[in-house]
């Protein structure tokens, strides 16, 4: 099979920069004009646009064998998601390659609880009836349903990659969402802080390990396209893959952030204090959001390679 045509939506972002080869990301982080010329020389075409532009989006997707979507649902919403699915299913009618759609989602859809109270409800990515019964008001879920329906039809290879807290230095120019929020708050106030009791549980994954999962799923879909149709009776949710490898509670992690920042002289106080729900920066959460590690991902050979969250904090904020 010739090399597939790959479209990366949101390639300028934190997660979206990871699947690009290192020689590409090195050039992409330079000023926009020269970077586009350099990328063209490496066989990579860049398009600057918006996923809200459904005509442009459809045009780009209709030429792709594989779509990595790191932009929607953060931007563009369900209309953009449906546009991608429609264009890929249309392409499948004439393409020698079964098109692949790898969708980025987040475990915020199953977030529950508040005030930093530890949760006991353990979700699994095999809880197909629970996924089907989630309300559309749950974060990301209405968009995930579009992918699940596509996976059930099986015309394309459609996968939902559901990430929890993503950490670690990425190849792209952007940063993760949650960890920098805690650092920003500490630097602004002089004291690291967690929400409520700080015992709430989140899953986590290093951005490079997450990228490896995307590539594993892409290779699986391209080499075994007949195995990518959703399991009958799963409502399409068998193609949802939980992308967490570790778990943490926030109090010890944020306390470590405080210790590291204080040792560097960035803030005057070590450790961390409790603040009420809603009084911190955006992405400082008091709820729980975690699942059991995905047996589906493990069966495909996915494993942790990068440092765990605590070690990554020490590496990112050396004393």
The answer regarding whether domain 6-316 maps to CATH 2.40.50.1020 reads: no
Residue 175 pLDDT greater than 60, yes or no: no
Round to whole Å and give the CA distance between 262 and 256: 10
For the CA atoms of the chain, what is the radius of gyration? 20
Q: Name beta bridge partners: 289.
A: 202
214-264 pLDDT, tens digit per residue, is: 999 999 999 999 999 999 999 999 999 999 999 999 999 999 999 999 999
Domain ranges for the chain, please list them: 6-316
Characterise 276 by phi-psi region: left (phi > 0), alpha (psi -120 to 50), beta (else): beta
- CA neighbor of 137 nearest in space, from 160, 157, 174, 111: 111
Q: Name beta bridge partners: 100.
A: 66, 157
Residue 28 pLDDT greater than 70, yes or no: no
Sheet of strand 157-163: strand arrangement? 6-9, 66-69, 100-106, 157-163, 240-242
pTM of the model: 0.89
Share of the chain above pLDDT 70, in %: 87
43-67 pLDDT, tens digit per residue, is: 567 788 888 889 999 999 999 999 9
Per 3-state DSSP, what percentage of the chain is helix, strand, and coil (rounded to 5)?
A: 40, 15, 45
pLDDT at position 301: 97
What mean pLDDT comes out for the span 99-121? 95
**pLDDT range class, residue 280, cuts 50, 70, 90:** confident
Residue 30 pLDDT greater than 50, yes or no: no
pLDDT at position 20: 55
Q: Name beta bridge partners: 205.
A: 166
H helical segments located in the chain:
22-28, 32-41, 54-61, 77-92, 128-133, 141-153, 178-189, 207-223, 250-264, 295-299, 309-316
pLDDT at position 4: 87
């Amino acid at each position: 099979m010739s090399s597939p045509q790959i479209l990366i939506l949101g390639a300028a972002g934190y997660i979206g920069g990871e699947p690009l080869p290192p020689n590409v990301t090195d050039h992409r982080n330079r000023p926009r004009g020269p970077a586009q010329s350099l990328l063209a020389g490496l066989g990579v075409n860049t398009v600057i646009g918006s996923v809200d532009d459904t005509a442009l989006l459809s045009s780009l997707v209709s030429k792709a064998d594989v779509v990595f979507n790191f932009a929607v649902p953060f931007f563009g919403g369900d209309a953009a998601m449906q546009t991608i699915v429609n264009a890929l299913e249309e392409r499948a009618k004439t393409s020698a390659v079964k098109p692949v759609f790898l969708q980025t989602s987040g475990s915020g859809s199953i977030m529950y609880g508040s005030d930093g109270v530890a949760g006991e409800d353990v979700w699994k990515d095999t809880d197909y009836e629970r996924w089907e019964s989630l309300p559309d008001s749950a974060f990301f879920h209405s968009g995930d349903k579009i992918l699940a329906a596509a996976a059930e039809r099986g015309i394309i290879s459609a996968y939902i990659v559901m990430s929890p807290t993503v950490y670690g230095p990425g190849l792209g120019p952007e940063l993760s969402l949650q960890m920098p929020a805690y650092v920003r708050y500490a630097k602004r106030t002089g004291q690291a802080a967690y929400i409520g009791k700080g015992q709430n549980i989140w899953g986590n994954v290093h951005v490079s390990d997450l990228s490896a999962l995307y590539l594993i799923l892409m290779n699986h879909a391209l080499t075994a396209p007949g195995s990518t149709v959703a399991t009958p009776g799963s409502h399409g949710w068998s193609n949802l893959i939980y992308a967490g490898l570790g778990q943490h509670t926030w109090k010890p992690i944020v306390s470590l952030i405080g210790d590291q920042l204080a040792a560097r002289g960035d803030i005057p106080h070590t450790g961390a204090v409790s603040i009420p729900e809603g009084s911190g920066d955006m992405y400082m959460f008091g709820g729980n959001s975690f699942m059991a590690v995905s047996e589906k991902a493990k069966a495909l050979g996915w494993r942790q390679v990068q440092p765990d969250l605590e070690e990554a904090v020490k590496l990112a904020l050396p004393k």
